[in-house]
Structure formats: C-alpha cells, structure tokens
Structure 1
Amino acid sequence: MTRKKTFLILGLFLFLFPTLSNSQCPEGFNTTMDENGKENCNDVDECNEDDYGLICKENAECRNTVGGYYCYCADGFTSSTKKETFTAASPQTCRDINECVSMKNICPANAECHNSAPYYACICASGFTSSTGVEAFRSGDNVTCNDIDECLDEAICGPNASCNNTEGSYICVCNAGFRLKSGKADFTGNHEQCEDLCKIDQTICGNGTCHHGADGHYCSCHSGFTNYGNKKHRCTELNCDIFKDETSLEKTFPTVHDHISHLKKSCLDLTESETPKEKSDDLLEFLMSLMDKLMSGEVLTDNKKVSLFFNLVEHALRLTGPFVSPPGTEKMAEYTEVKMKVYKGSELPQGPTTISSEHAKLDIDLEVAAGDPLYYPGFTAVSLLTYKNLEKFVNGHFGGVKREGNESYQINSKVVTITVSNTNTSHLKEPIRLTVHHLEKTNKTFHTCVFWDSSVEGGAWSTRGCRVVTSSPEYTVCSCEHLSSFAVLMALYDTEDRFDLKLITWVGLSLSLVCLFFCILTFSMIRSIQSPRTTMHLHLCISLFIANFIFLAGISRTENKVGCAVVAGMLHFFYLSAFCWMCLEGIQLFRMVVLVFNTNFKTAYMMAGGYGVPAVIVAISAMVSHKEYGTDKHCWLSLDLIWSFFGPACVIIIVNIFFFLITAWKLAQKFSSLNPDLDSLQKIKAFTITAVAQLCILGTMWIFGCFQFEKGTIAMTYLFTIFGSLQGVMLFVMHCLLSKQVRDEYQNIASRLFAPRKKTYSEFSYSHSSKPQASKSTQDTGESQI
C-alpha cells in the first residue's frame, strides 16, 4: 500500500513537471527545447495568420513586437478614435480617407478626382484626354490632361455652321445668312441646325424683301422706306411728310418756298440713293440756308410759326443724321452752327459722349441716344444746333413758365436744338446735361432752364422736365428728361404793382400837370420875363406836360399792340425832349459864363436840339427794333431797348455836370476879382443855382429809375415814383414861386383881377413907360434872384 502511493505520487509529479516548466516563460513567449534538451523562451508571432488568423480588424494591419503585437490602419484609412495603434480587443475601426476632399488640388488641371477605397483616382474631364492614354491615375504618376480638338471632325457642327474649338469643348456658329430657330447665337452638339435667315424670320427686313447672298442676307427696301445705306439692317419709314405739305409751309414761310421744295426733293432722294452721303450733305446745307433765310428777315413773327420752324428743323436733322459717315460732321452758316456725332455698327453703343460748340455743350449717354435695343437700326446720331440770333424772335413767349412773384423773364442764352436717332425722346431713361453760356453775365439774378413746348398755347417756353443743376455768372447747367429746343431764361424783377405807388403816381402827376400848365401860361403870356432862357423853360414844361398826360392816359392800355407801341414811342420822344432842353440850358449857361456874356442860341438851333435830336433817336430805335415798343404790362420800352432812353439821358446828365462844374469854377474866379459889374454876376449866379437845382431834381429822378431792374429796390422805387410824379410841381416852385420877378407879375395880375381901380391918364402912361425899363435888367436871363 505504501509502495502504490509512492508510484502514484511519482507519476503525478512527472505529469505536472512539464507544465510547471512552461509556465516559467512570460506572456507572448513559448518554451522550446534545444539539442541539448535545454528549455528556451521564444517570442510568439501573433500576426502569423496561419497560426492565429486575422487578429486585427478589417482595413487594419498587424505588426508583431517582442512579447506582443499592435494594430494600425492600412494606407488610405484612418482610426475612428484618431489613435495610431490599438489591439484586437479595442473597439476602434478603420475608416476610408476621402482624399478628394481633404487634399486640395490633388489632381492636375482639367482632371476630376474620384474617391475609392482605399485610395482615389484622377480622371480627365470631358473634352480632355490623359497624356499617357490611361484612364485613371494618381498625382504621383506624372500624367497631364490635354484638350481634345473636336473641330477636327468636320461634320461635328453640320452644314451652314463653323466650328470654334474651346478649351475642353467647342461651339458652333451659324454662317452669314443663317440662324438658329431658337434665336441663340451659338450651339453645341446636334440638337439644332442653322437655317436660312430669310426663311425663318420673314420680318428681319421690316418693310423690305430679304435676299440670301454670298456674304449673308441683305434687304431691298420698299418704296418710301430705307435702311440708311446699310443693306443688312431693317427698312424703316423715311418720313418726308413735313416737306410734302408744301402748301402749308409756303403759306407760313412764303419767302423760302424754293428751299422747302429742294428739301422735299432731297428727302425723297434719300430712299433711292445707293450712296446717300452726298444727298445728306445736300439736305443739311439746304436746311441751314433755309434757317439763315428765315432768321435774316421778319418771318418768325408769332409762336405758331416758331413751333413749325422748330419741328421742321428737328425733323430734317433726324433724317440727315443716319446718312452722315462716322464720326460725324460740322457745318457753320451765318446764323447757325451744327455739330453732329454718328456711330454705326451692329452693337448698341454705350457710354457718355460730349458735343461742344461756342455757346453750348451737350453731355448725353449713347444708349439713350440709340433708343430701344430691340429696334436698334444699326446707327446712332446726335446733333447739336446753335442759333446765333434766334433769341430775339422767341423772347417773350413764357406761357409755360410759372412765375413766383411779379418777375418777368428774358432769354439770356443762345437757343439750341438737340436731336438724336432715338424717336422716343419724350421721357428719356437718363436725363441729358446741357451747359449754355450766358449772353449777359451777372450773378444778381435767377436763371431758369426751359424748352420750347409746342403744346402750350401754340408754342411757348416751359420748365416741365428741366431743372438747373448749377448756375454761375458765366453759364448755367441744365438737366432735362426729354429733347427739344432749349434756352436759359433770366428773371427780371419789375416794380411791384402796389396801390400806394399807384396813388402817389396819379396824385403826383395830376398836380404836376396843373403846375406845368401854369408854368406854360407864365412863360408864354408874361412878356416881361420872356427871353431865350424862358423859351427853354417853356419847351421843357411843354415836353413834360405832354409826356405826363400821355403817361396817365395810356401807360396801361396794352390791349391794342399798335396803339401801345405809339404811346411808348411818344413817351420815348417827349421824355428825351425834356432831357435835351435841360442839356440846352446847361450849354447856354456855359456859353454865357465861360465863353461870351449875353450870347444866346438862335430859336431854330434850340428847336433842332430840343426836338430834332430826340426825333432822330426815336426814329432810329423804331426802325431797328419797333417790336420793343410796348410790353405785356406797360406801353413803354422793353428791357432790350430801354438804353435807347437811359443812354442819352445819362449822357446829358454827365454833360451838364461837366458844364456846371466849369461854370462854377469860372464864377468863383470872377467873384474873387474886383469886377464892377456885380449886378450881371449876381444874375449869372442865380442862373447857375437854378440850373443846378433843375438838374438835380430831374436828373436824380432818372438815376433812381436805373435801379428798377433788380429785386429788393423798394426804397429806390419810392424815390423814383415821388420825384418822377412831382417834377412838374418842383419846376413850378423853382422857376415861378421862387422867382421874385414872376411873383411880382403874379401880384400885378392878381391886383388887376381882384382889386380893379380906374387909372388916370398919367398913371397909365407911367405904368407903360416904366415897365420895360424895370424888366430890362432881366431880359437877358429871365431869372430873378432866389
């Protein structure tokens, strides 16, 4: 029993011994016996698929280490946990990397990137092929994508079209005379084919017949229509109707019948001319000669004629423009200047352009001048016509100008006409900008931009659609939303029509008429004071009396233009006559004191100076500008002619001041010397004082009148009204009441009328014999001491 236990223990020991021996190698190693029977620990290769299978997960690779191993994602994959290594027990997985997203420009030019697992592929885009002929490649393969020239295939675009190679593709363009039904400019592929243009678009020529030629289609226009010499463009109507109505034009402008007939013929020839340039030059030259003829005479006498004139000019310019060769033309005549710019081509012109003349400058957008692109006829013409003297014919038609107060208007620029090839210019997409230079340079007035509107009262200046951009003393810049004939108005401020001023005028002039009447009776009836000097006083009073009477009776009677003009002419004459008699008094004083004492003018000379000179001035003014006699408000001179009165008046005032200064200087010398003839010097002194006082009264009044043409002169207006209306009263006071000799005569007359008594024969004889002696001392001057 004991022996059996011993063998059993020994057997169990022998069985357990190898297990105990193996357990001595660490994990990842196994035990082997060498030749000598010695046990060794060797590394276990966990990555050996034959022994262990796929220990790492899909898309991962295994790497053995001493005593262990680790897993890592294969090339083209990345760990889901971003860890580079892991074991089989780890939950990590390997996911594919999208190189087409993460790596920019990984493929060469003209190639497309396609992602795959585990890598990517570069494939040449459509229209390109690889340089090595392979379909797919990667960046490191040194492969490029080259363009494929599709146009090497002659049939790729089909008939009637040309192929143009492009990078990666091609386009087909229809040959001249052919077009796609879709209206597209080009195509690719065989979805469409080019067809004969004349067949697919029967309206391409408008009012003409389409033909197919070697260089494409061309249009033959029907009668009355034209394509302005460009056979490939639509035929549009050449409207010569304004020239065809010769009867109406001849009645309106009878002096230019031949010109209108020639314009009609030239217009009709434009539809038939194969080389219309000469015809257009002919039309333009005859148009300018017609305008010169009209503006050289008195033809444009009313607004309706002016409207017809503008319509004729604008129509002819619009007809002529398309036939002018680019870049344009310039023509100048006696009364007109035309500058024209022309653009031709299939493309609609764009961008700004400028036309300048001596008196104006036009800035306009070419797209606005061309008009609607759908109806673009292949040309664009812009013309600027400047009239050199038209402002005098159209000055005064201001029915379309809204007045803010009592101001009046006057044209202060040359009139210009603007035309373009665009037929719809009533409301432009972009406004034009017109710069016009002023005729009268002033910064003390307000300027307004206007155009001629034929729809207002038969034709008048209007501000509708125009505004002032900027204005200076030299020029005004206007912005207008339409085209027509334009000008710049200058506002003039008349004296305000106030009741108090009217009252002063009527009361003052009435008193002056009474006083002047007494002055006329005094100087004509009292023989004791009559002399050349009193003759001057007499005719001065007569002139003022008649002028004031006409002023009261007819200054506001403007309903009859002829009568109003006569009233204005008479006022012009008699007021100038009053100044001329004042001038004669100054000259007479100068002759008496400076030259020779006691010398007088002959009566004929005085009459020639007092009435002849103003008659000559009025006659010349009436012949030159008879239309300027009478205005819309008063029967007086218009502002254009006012200096035919103020000019001579200012000259007379200056001359008299000159003479009076010399006279005063000479008198001072004479009084300083011991001259025994003190009585004569005393009379001359009184003569001088009264003359100077007369000049101050009458001259100062008209100086105040010079300030009536601007706003804000109310003080001057009151002074002018008071002095002007009371000048007759002042003359009566100065020449009659302040004259001792005249007062004595008044007393004698009053004593005879109101206290009559019988005289004895001796008293009667003494009175008649002594009176001439008493008055002889004043015979030469007609003045007593003041």
Structure 2
Amino acid sequence: MELQWALLVLGFFLLSTESHGCGVGYIKKNTNCTDEDECETPSLCGENSQCVNTHGSYYCTCNEGFLSIPPNFTASTAGECVDINECFDKTPACPSDLVCVNTIGSYNCTNCPKGFIRDPKLNSSCKDIDECKDPDVCGTNADCKNLPGSFICECHTGYSNYSNNQSKCTDIDECKDPDVCGTNADCKNHIGSFICECHKGYSNYGNNQSKCTEMNCDEFKIESDMQGKLKDILTLLRDSCESLRDTGVGRQTGEQLLEILITSTDYLLSDGNIADSETLSQFLDAVENSMHLIGPQLKAPVTRMETHNTFAEVAVRRGQAPPSGCVTLSTDSALFNTSWETVVGKSYPGFGFVALVSYKDMESSSDQFHTISRERSDDRERNITYQLNSKVVTAVVSNPETKQLSEPVTLIFTHEQERAESEGVGYSCVYWNEAEGAWSGRGCEEAWSNSTHTACSCSHLSSFAVLMALYPIQESFELVLITRVGLVLSLLCLFLCILTFRFCRSIQGTRNSIHLHLSVCLFIADLVFLCGISSTHDQVGCAIVAGLLHFFFLSAFCWMLLEGVQLYRMVVLVFHTTLKHLYMYAAGYGVPLAIVIISAISYPRGYGTDRHCWLSLEFMWSFFAPVCIIVVLNSLFFIITVWKLAEKFSSLNPDLSKLRNIRGFTVTAVAQLCVLGGMWVFGCFLFQEEGTQVVLYLFTILNSLQGALIFIMHCLLSKQVREEYCKLISRICSDKEKKYSDFSTNQSSNSQRPLRSDQSTAESKI
C-alpha cells in the first residue's frame, strides 16, 4: 500500500515539472528545453580568467601565469586568479648567469648591474661584489674600501693615484715642491716619504718632515751668580740644544727633558732662594727658553706633568697645514685660552706648541712692586701695599713674535685669598718685566674679577700673576671726632658710676657690686680702646691691646649675666638671695680669663690685624660665641623674671614696694643688655675689610653712649642715688655758705670790738 502511494506521488511530481518549465541551466525554446550559455554575460569570471560553459552550468579558469583559488570557481563561490611568481619555483626559471624578474602573469630574465652578481640563494636579487677580497686590486700602497657596486683605493701617506680612485698608488716625490723643507734644509725623497736634512746650525727638533729653524743655544747662558741647581739645568739644556743643532738628535727625549725641568724647578721653589728680582728673572727666563726647546720634541698631542710645587701642560700639533681653532690649557690655579693662529704666528715650520707652567709657593719682595706703583700715578701718595693673590704662571707658544700679538690671549686666575674687590681691595693683571726686575701691568688688562677669580686679557706673553692692592681706608675727620669725644664722655660717665657705686651707702648690696665691676670693666676697655686700638706698628703691643679688649669686654658681659642671675634669685627665692663675692669674681673675671688664655694658646696670630688691634676675622668666634651664649642665657633669665613678677603682682597680698623695685631693676637690666648687645651686633662687622662707613658710625655712636646710658639708668633714674646727689650738693653748698658766713662774722667782730677778741673766741668755742 505504501509503495503504491510513493509511485503515485513521483508520477504527480514529474507531471507537474513537465507542465511548468525547464531545469536549472536550461531555457525553454518553443516546447523544448535547451542549455543556457552563462559565458555570454561579460566579466562574469573577472580579470585574468576565462569562462567555460557546460551543459546546465559553467566554471571559470585562470589565464596562463595565474593560479585559480579555488580551482574552477564560479561567481557564486567568490574565487580569484593570483599571479604566479615563477622566480621562486624550485626549477630555475632563468639560466645561472641571469637574474629572474617576476612580472604580472609572467617573468623576465635579465643581467645584474655592474659590480653586482646574482645571489644563488635568492634567484630574484643581485648582491654586491666585494672587489677588496682581491689583495692586488689596490696594491700594497693603499687601503681598499668596498662600496655598493664599486670600490676605491685610499693611498697611504706619501703615495697617490692622481684622482683615479680605482688604480694603484705610486710614490709622490715631495721634493719637487721647493717649499716643503724650506731654504734651511735639503729635501731627500724616499719611497712613500721624505726627510729634511737641516743645514748646520739649524734643527727641526727630530721632526724630519718639518722645516728647520735656527738653533740659538746662547739663550741658555750661565751667569756667574746663578745658583748651583739652576746652573745644572741650563748646562743640561744647553748640551741638548747643541746636540740637536749639530746632529739633529737630542741627548734626551722631550718627555725626559720636561721631567728634568719640572723636578729641578720643584727643587728650586722648595729651597726658597729665588725671591730676589735678579734670581727670579733668571729662573723665569730659563723656564721660558726651556719650553721653546722641549715643546717641539714632545710626541703626544697633550702632555701634563705635576710635582709638589710645579704644574705644566703642553699641547703640540703637527702637519703640513697649520692648525686652526681655539686651544685651552689649564693647571690647578689658572686657565689659558688662545687660538692656534696666535700660537703658530705668520711662519709655520710644520709644528706648533703652546705650554702653560704654574708655580706654587713663589714669593715676591716689596721692591718688586715699584713698577706697578709708578704706573699708577694716583697711588704714589697713598700708603698702598701689594701682594700676589695667585700663583705665577708662564705661558709659552711656538710663535717667535710674542711682544705684540695680533689678538689678545686670556688667562683666568684662581685667587689665593677669596676677597671681593671693594673700596679697600683692588686686583691688577701683571707680568714679570725682566728688564726692570719687577711686576708691571703694561699690556695686560683686567677683563672681570670676583671674590675667587680674575680674568686677564694680555697682548703679549710672559710670566703672569694677579696682584692684589690693599688700599688703606682713610677714616673721616667726623668719625675720628665722634670716636674720641664719645669715648671721653663714656669714660667720664663710667668714672662717675664707679664713684657712685663705691661710696653711695644707701644702694650698697649685691646688685650694686655687680654694677661697680661692670663699670670698671667697661671703663678699662674703653680706655684701652681709645689709646691702643690703632697701635698696629708694634706687633706685640697690638696683640696685648687685643687681648685686653677681649678680656674686659667678655668680663662686662659676664657681669651682666650675673645681674640677670641676681634678679632671678630676688624674684624666685625668698631667703639667701645674695651671691657670694668669691663666686661672682670667679664668674666675672675667671671665665673670661680662661677663654682668653685658651684662645691665645690655640691661635696666637688671631690677636691683632693689619688695620686694628683687635681679633682677626677668622678668630672672631672666640669673642662672639661666648657673647651669644651670655645674651641667650640672660634673655631666658629676664623672661622668667618678668613672668614671675607678673604672677606676684596678680597675687592677693603682694609686697608692692619690693616688687616695684625689682621691676625697675629688671627694666634697667634689660635696657642695659640691649645697649651693649646691640652695640656688638654692629661691632661684629667693624673690623672686617668689607666694613662700611655706616656700620662704623653706628658702632662708634653706640660705643660712645654706653657709659652715658649706664650712668642715666643706674644713677640718675634711681631715686636713692638722686637723693644722695642732692645731699652731697646741699652739703657742699652749705659748707661754702658756712665758711663765707664765718669769715664775714669774724671780719665784722674784729672791726667793732678789737679789744674783746679773747672773750668772743671763748664764746664761740662754747
């Protein structure tokens, strides 16, 4: 039954298909179904392909040289034709001597460019031919350098291929150029080189391809008064010079000669026997001449040597063409800057050198500064002292004409003492004038200067240094007048204070004793200051004055500290508020004495300066350190005292009279500390070289007022002292009136009753 139904359905399907149309890929013509030619549609398969029609369908196939992906594709399968790279096939597409070049759908076989060859590993590329693998391509007189597709032959010195870079090099006959050795030598050509054989009396210092210069060995002349070591150096250099002049070969190399010179110079400087002008001239001249002999013989481009007292740096350049550009040499204390054009000069013998030599511990006497003093007309009448503030350096170049350079050279010196240029200090750039045996400033100018360095611009070469001029600061008449009048006023007031504290009975006590010793210390300090602060002509006496000032000013601050301690005890303690005199003397005089003794033993040169009999600047800490400590401690005591006073004033039953007295004492003590402490705020700058006139005036005024202010605060503002002054004045006045009245009475009695004189005398006595 099921089979019958299946056959029925199949028959129905066939009948329906035949009745409605043709199958896929066919079209109906008349009553018949025929094949449809899909390839009639243009660009159905795309580029590089062809369409092939089949019964009821079609497919696309690629042209030759293209690969179908996927094979036999149709438009519905989205295939394409890809170019085949025939040059990468396993079977070579081209002969071995050609290179395969792929094209779209095909390939070409071509030759490699000149200088290239086909790479067997890569059929489609050419690789460079390394011609330099052939050792004979350039020969032995050149270096072969390979280039892409070519090569060049770089000739050795003395050979040439005359602009044909791919040919072998042949020897150059340098002697054809008459200027190659100059007129003072004979040129001899060698294979790849040449030499200049100097005439007698000339030398090229062992540089056989340089021009020859005249050898003047008389520069190393030996004077009869020269030191033994200096004679030995000159003898050695003279022998080497003569050997170069006669044979062209020195007895020592340049490096050996430089080491001998530096070592001998170090010995001479350490011996300390070249301070006089004549010996110094001989020494510096010998060094300069030695560098002219040694410099051309050095082989290295830069040579440096250093000993304990000497430092040298030499730069050398050689070649057919003169060097150009800047050249800078430096030692531990100076920097020298110039140009190679200045070093070489107008004539270039085939080499050039520049040398800088620095000397340590070189001293100069005062007579060596007379030339610089003459050059400064405004300094003739002033008491100016000079001293070297840099190491002395010698600058030498191969240029024989250095008296007037075409362009100035620059030297930058490091100061030995770091002091800024100010009203009292000036710097000068000087050179050693051998003709006058002194330092001179002609031809050298100061470019700029600061506290650590000075730059000099000089139009000639020699031995140079930086000279420091110390100008004495002239104190004005007004300042001297204020100082002397103020100190006299201060001494007078302090003397009145001493009398008052000593003999005024109503104020006797511990605090009065402190004021007495404070006044005594300030009185002695001001007296010593007035009489001896400028006694710098006597070094020992000046040191004693400085020591006394150090002691008594410190003692004054110590007694002020004791006053602060006493006020603190009066407020805080109820009983035993007095200080024992032994303790006060130990603190007021013993502590300053110990500080002065320790300071004098540790640094005795700190007492006394060139301008004042006071502590030196680097030693000022021995005074200001204790003063700062005392001021800080006293300030703490006063703060605590004022705080305690405020508490007591706020209590219920304060002893007002006693507290008011203590308050008054505290106010005067604080004012006293401000006067003396403020004075030394300016006093710390008084004795510096850079101290200004304003600071001098402030210090002088405060120093002058301290005695008067102490007299006003502790005497005139004290009610008890004023009462004692009034009593004293009244007593003096009453005694004068009594004497006058007695004298008048006696005169009148004698005139009226001359016969009763015995009786009247008896009555008066009764």
Q: Which residue of 1 aligns with 2:443?
A: 465
Amino acid at match of 1:323: I
2:710 corresponds, among 725, 731, 744, to 731
Of 605, 627, 642, the match for 1:668: 642
Partners of 1:459 and 1:741 lie apart in 2 by: 75
Q: Does the 8 Å CA contact 1:355/1:363 hold for their aligned counterparts?
A: yes
Distance 1:756 1:446, change over 3 A: closer
Partner Cα distance (1:227, 1:530) in 2: 98
Structure 2 regions of 5+ residues with no counterpart? 1-157, 164-170, 188-193, 241-250, 737-766
Partners of 1:275 and 1:730 in 2: how far apart?
81
SS in 2 for 1:353: strand
Q: For the residues of structure 1 that align with 2:401 and 2:523, how far apart are their CA atoms?
A: 61
Which residue number in structure 1 is paired with residue 554 of structure 2?
580
User: 2:395 is matched with which residue?
Assistant: 419
Partner of 1:642: 617
Query: Are residues 526 and 460 of structure 1, via their aligned partners in 2, closer, same or farther at CA, if it must alter by over 3 Å?
Result: farther
For residues 229 and 689 of structure 1, what CA distance do their matches in structure 2 show?
90
In 2, distance between residues paired with 1:467 and 1:401?
13
- 2-structure distance, mates of 1:569, 1:241: 50
For the 8 Å contact 2:304–2:313, the answer to whether it is kept is yes
Q: Distance in 1 between matches of 2:278 and 2:514?
A: 53
Residue 606 of structure 1 corresponds to: 588
Kindly tell me: are residues 710 and 612 of structure 1, through their superposed partners in 2, closer, same or farther at Cα, counting changes over 3 Å?
closer
Separation in 2 of the partners of 1:307 and 1:754? 80
Q: Where do 1:82-97 residues align within 5 Å?
A: none
Question: What secondary structure, in the 3-state scheme, does the structure 2 residue paired with 1:287 have?
Answer: helix
Displacement, 1:575?
3.0
* Deviation readout 1:455-506 (Å, 9 max, x if unpaired): 6998877654333445567755432223432227599894x63332232222
Change (3 A) 1:618 1:681: farther
- Output the amino acid matched with 1:721: T
Q: Is the 8 A contact 1:519 1:732 kept in 2?
A: yes
CA gap of 1:685–1:406, structure 2 versus 1, over 3 A, is farther
In 1, distance between residues paired with 2:285 and 2:183? 42
Aligned to 2:290: 319
Any stretches of 5+ residues in structure 1 without a counterpart? Answer: 1-161, 187-193, 200-213, 247-259, 758-786
TM norm structure 1 = 0.54
DSSP 3-state at the match of 1:514: helix
CA distance in 2, matches of 1:712, 1:608: 32
In 2: Cα distance, 1:725 partner to 1:583 partner = 17
Shift in Å, 1:364: 1.5
**Distance of aligned partners of 1:217 and 1:693 in 2 relative to their CA distance in 1, 3 Å threshold:** same
Asked whether 1:266 is paired with 2:233, we answer yes
User: What is the distance in 2 between the residues matched to 1:440 and 1:412?
Assistant: 13
Which residue does 1:487 correspond to in 2?
A: 466
1:340-419 mapped onto 2 (5 Å cutoff): 340-343=314-317, 350-357=324-331, 359-370=333-344, 373=347, 380-385=353-358, 387=360, 399=373, 414-419=390-395
Equivalence map 1:191-210=2 (5 Å)? 197=185
CA displacement at 1:363 relative to structure 2: 0.7
AA in 2 matched with 1:280: L
Partners of 1:507 and 1:353 in 2: CA distance: 63
CA contact (8 A) 1:523 1:537 kept: yes
Which residue in the other structure is 2:97 paired with? none
Q: Distance in 1 between matches of 2:734 and 2:644?
A: 45
Do residues 498 (structure 1) and 476 (structure 2) align? Answer: yes
Alignment check: 8 A CA contact 1:266 1:279 kept: no
Cα deviation, 1:242-289, whole Å, max 9, x if unaligned, reads 88634xxxxxxxxxxxxx633432332223350143243132023235
1:669, distance to aligned residue in structure 2 (A): 3.0
Report if the CA contact (8 A) 1:350-1:366 is conserved.
yes
Shift in Å at residue 401 of structure 1? 5.8
Cα pair distance change 1:408/1:241, threshold 3 Å: same
Cα displacement (A) at 1:354 = 0.4
Distance 1:387 1:163, change over 3 A: closer
2:677 aligned with 1:699: yes
* Structure 1 position 614, deviation (Å): 3.3
Which SS does the other structure have where 2:214 is aligned? coil
Alpha carbons 1:307, 1:454 under 8 Å: kept: no
Q: Tell me which of 682, 698, 720 is aligned to 1:719.
A: 698
Q: What whole-Å deviation, never above 9, does each CA across 1:67-103 have from its counterpart, x for those lacking one?
A: xxxxxxxxxxxxxxxxxxxxxxxxxxxxxxxxxxxxx
Change in CA separation of 1:715 and 1:269 when aligned onto 2, cut-off 3 Å: closer
- Alpha-carbon distance between aligned partners in 2 of 1:315 and 1:520, rounded to the nearest angstrom: 71
Partner amino acid, structure 2, of 1:722: I
Identity of aligned residues (%): 27
How many residues are aligned here? 532
> Could you tell me which residue of structure 1 aligns to residue 313 of structure 2?
339
Question: Distance between the aligned counterparts of 2:382 and 2:669, measured in 1?
Answer: 38
1:545-556 mapped onto 2 (5 Å cutoff) = 545-553=523-531
RMSD (CA atoms): 5.4
Aligned with 1:383: secondary structure? Answer: strand
Report the AA paired with residue 258 of structure 2. Answer: S
Q: What is the rounded CA distance, in whole Å, between the counterparts of 1:523 and 1:395 in structure 2?
A: 60
Q: Which residue of 1 aligns with 2:303?
A: 329
Distance 1:402 1:240, change over 3 A: same
- What letter corresponds to residue 629 of structure 1 in structure 2? T
> Deviations along 1:670-720, whole A, 9 cap, x unmatched?
221449677776565444433332332233233334566698955444323
Q: Tell me the residue number matched to 1:282.
A: 260
Amino acid at match of 2:405: L
Deviations 1:194-237 (A, max 9, x none): 999589xxxxxxxxxxxxxx955357779xxx986669543223
Aligned AA (2:610): G
Secondary structure of 2:239's match? coil
Change (3 A) 1:238 1:461: closer
1:472 to 1:452, Cα distance in 2 relative to 1, 3 A: closer
Could you tell me whether the CA contact under 8 Å between 2:510 and 2:579 is conserved in 1? no
Residues in 1 aligned to 2:568 and 2:503: alpha-carbon distance in whole angstroms: 31
Cα distance between partner residues in 1 of 2:434 and 2:378: 16
Change (3 A) 1:686 1:567: farther
Cα deviation for residue 663 of structure 1 reads 1.5
1:63-82 aligned at under 5 Å gives the runs none
Deviation digits for residues 387-423 of structure 1, max 9, x if unmatched?
Answer: 4897999999984667799998998964341321457
Pick from 486, 489, 499 the counterpart of residue 511 of structure 1: 489
**Structure 1 residues 667, 693: closer, same or farther in 2, change over 3 A?**
same
Please state how far the C-alpha of 1:450 moved relative to its aligned partner: 1.9
Q: Determine the C-alpha separation between the residues in 2 that align with 1:604 and 1:228.
A: 80
Matched residues in 1 for 2:317 and 2:444: separation?
Answer: 27
Q: Distance in 2 between matches of 1:523 and 1:478?
A: 64
Structure-2 change in CA distance of 1:460 and 1:330 (3 Å): same
Aligned residues of 2:185 and 2:199 also touching (Cα < 8 A) = no
Mapped contact 2:186–2:199 kept (Cα < 8 A): no
Name the SS of the counterpart of 2:489 in structure 1. helix
1:300-315 aligned at under 5 Å gives the runs 305=276, 309=280, 312-313=283-284, 315=286
